[in-house]
Chains A and B, each alone.
Chain A
């Protein structure tokens, strides 16, 4: 029940990001969430999109370097404390996050947190046990 994330290499130059998002919008791909982490000369753009297959093709054709990673999407109530609960559950199970970012899903009135952990299956288990709902790939597509 993982969600596919697309990570793309971005050179640190003006127009670098627009180049990627244009390739996606030209292929009619809608971006649900986006996070960027950067080093001095380059960055990694991480995306959650409605159509991973179409996005991958569009990036390949436009000559970008990318990869697809399984991440977890966790839904929380849109109120104070809900994200803390997610982090606490994972911390108590001794799991550390590689990275995380969140977005608000209007149709569901929910905050959705994307998280990357080393052991995805174990994380899924502890989250489920704590009653925290996970969002499926198909649901992301329909948002």
Chain B
């Protein structure tokens, strides 16, 4: 039987109790990082804050922010707060200039993360009679193993099919009767089309889907829902914080409940760092208050968002975040992979080329297309076409190595890339990702 909540006592906890729990955990977490992470201690000392100054969530604003730059600087072990012998896993995302972000987990961290994902699955109606089809990639990416662990905890039969191989996906769906699909929204849309093409929609038993790791619009949601005949739910998370399940949608589909017993959310003015009141749009900042191995205090996500504590008809009391409404930096998410324009600049410079480029991202047939126009330069040119194409191939390979995804490179005429007010337009994103 499917349950209404996975952990009812926590998910419907009265707000004042929830805040007291957060305060208690925050105080302990601050002490934990102060004692175990010299990098944090130095940052706090620099700001003149000690654990004694943090008596509850009302003192949160006193703590310094942590950014992706800190994670890179501290790579790989600089922010580790638990002994390595207690760590059981890592996950990782690509970062700028080739340096990755690596997050560590103790067994307890994994358990709590799995709980978060189990709450998300339970919220969409998954229970012990369900077959959860996990088409997120398994591996360093958190999508696959996160929903996998959650599905186990929720007692579902789990198909760890991972991404790719559409025929196999559809065969398992029809043969084993998958009821809940977990993948990126673009892959869900792709699968929906493939199912239509093969004329097997009648053999599909899906009732719900959890789709995250990419921005998607309400329009795309309706499209997936209509094509697959399911309810499509959003899920949010960051590898830095654990993975998917930092927040998730309930049946109301009007925002994602943040798992506040594990994460404290703030909205700040991205320019000044000032904390904004509930309901105002700003940058989302998270503090993980239960993480043992890789706790983050006031981590700036760069996602622009609005929080709301209006009572939800689902009965959950945890604060809701809207779908992110954009980024406060220039990061692009292409086919689920984080791409910074500066990475392309680095590759071009490494290859001895002039860094005049333009990224064009679009979505065709529900898949992101990724093109990079590179202005031809004297260094790259030759009267011999084969030499130029060899250099072009080398460039494509170096970009793939740096970014982790394939881009189509087009060599274009010098000075042909659009410049507005003298500044080259580096990114043209034709996808309509934000409502």
A38 to chain B, nearest CB (A): 8
In contact, B385 and A116 (Cβ under 8 angstroms):
no
In the complex, A3→B388 CA distance in Å?
Answer: 22
Q: Would you call A81 an interface residue if the criterion is a C-beta within 8 Å of the partner chain's C-beta atoms?
A: no
> Which residues of A in the span 35-70 have a Cβ within 8 Å of any Cβ on B?
37-39, 41-44, 46, 63-67, 69
In the complex, A16→B411 CA distance in Å?
Answer: 13
In contact, A44 and B383 (Cβ under 8 angstroms):
yes
In contact, A63 and B414 (Cβ under 8 angstroms):
yes
Q: CB-CB < 8 A to B338: which residues of A? A: none
> Which residues of B in the span 371-409 have a Cβ within 8 Å of any Cβ on A?
376-378, 381-385, 388-389, 392
Q: A44-B383, A67-B382 are in contact. Are A16 and B388 (CB under 8 A)?
A: no
Q: Chain A CB within 10 Å — which of B376, B385, B388, B414 has the most?
A: B385
Of the candidates A7, A11, A42, A63, the one whose C-beta lies within 8 Å of that of B383 is A7
In the complex, A84→B377 CA distance in Å?
Answer: 37
Q: CB-CB < 8 A to B414: which residues of A? A: 9, 63-65
Q: CB-CB < 8 A to B342: which residues of A? A: none
In the complex, A5→B383 CA distance in Å?
Answer: 9
B383 to chain A, nearest CB (A): 4
A67 to chain B, nearest CB (A): 6
> Which residues of B in the span 14-67 have a Cβ within 8 Å of any Cβ on A?
none
What total of A-B pairs shows CB separation below 8 Å? Answer: 58
Q: Would you call A98 an interface residue if the criterion is a C-beta within 8 Å of the partner chain's C-beta atoms?
A: yes
Q: A11-B412, A65-B377 are in contact. Are A116 and B389 (CB under 8 A)?
A: no
- For A6, the closest partner residue in chain B by CB is B383
In contact, A11 and B413 (Cβ under 8 angstroms):
yes
In contact, A41 and B413 (Cβ under 8 angstroms):
no
Q: CB-CB < 8 A to B381: which residues of A? A: 7, 9, 65-67
Q: CB-CB < 8 A to A16: which residues of B? A: 413
In the complex, A43→B382 CA distance in Å?
Answer: 11
In the complex, A63→B356 CA distance in Å?
Answer: 14
In contact, A44 and B385 (Cβ under 8 angstroms):
yes
Of the candidates A5, A41, A44, A65, the one whose C-beta lies within 8 Å of that of B410 is A41
Q: CB-CB < 8 A to B410: which residues of A? A: 41-42
In the complex, A66→B377 CA distance in Å?
Answer: 9
B290 to chain A, nearest CB (A): 51
- For A16, the closest partner residue in chain B by CB is B413
In contact, A63 and B415 (Cβ under 8 angstroms):
yes
In contact, A69 and B385 (Cβ under 8 angstroms):
no
In contact, A98 and B384 (Cβ under 8 angstroms):
yes
B14 to chain A, nearest CB (A): 62
B47 to chain A, nearest CB (A): 51
In contact, A39 and B389 (Cβ under 8 angstroms):
yes
In contact, B383 and A9 (Cβ under 8 angstroms):
no
Q: CB-CB < 8 A to B392: which residues of A? A: 39
- For A20, the closest partner residue in chain B by CB is B413
- For B381, the closest partner residue in chain A by CB is A65
In contact, A11 and B388 (Cβ under 8 angstroms):
no
Q: CB-CB < 8 A to B389: which residues of A? A: 39
Of the candidates B378, B382, B411, the one whose C-beta lies within 8 Å of that of A41 is B411
Q: Would you call B416 an interface residue if the criterion is a C-beta within 8 Å of the partner chain's C-beta atoms?
A: yes
- For B415, the closest partner residue in chain A by CB is A63
A86 to chain B, nearest CB (A): 20
Q: CB-CB < 8 A to B377: which residues of A? A: 65
A3 to chain B, nearest CB (A): 13
> Which residues of A in the span 1-50 have a Cβ within 8 Å of any Cβ on B?
5, 7, 9-11, 16, 37-39, 41-44, 46
In contact, B411 and A11 (Cβ under 8 angstroms):
yes
Q: CB-CB < 8 A to B384: which residues of A? A: 44, 98-99, 116
> Which residues of B in the span 272-308 have a Cβ within 8 Å of any Cβ on A?
none
The contact string, 1 if C-beta is below 8 Å from chain B, for chain A 61-102, is: 001111101000000000000000000000000000011000
In the complex, A41→B382 CA distance in Å?
Answer: 16
A90 to chain B, nearest CB (A): 18
16 other A-B residue contacts (CB within 8 Å) besides A9-B411, A65-B377: A5-B383, A7-B381, A7-B382, A9-B381, A11-B411, A11-B412, A38-B385, A41-B411, A42-B376, A42-B411, A42-B412, A44-B383, A63-B415, A67-B382, A98-B384, A99-B384
- Sorted nearest first, the 3 A-B pairs with minimum C-beta distance are A7-B383, A11-B413, A69-B383
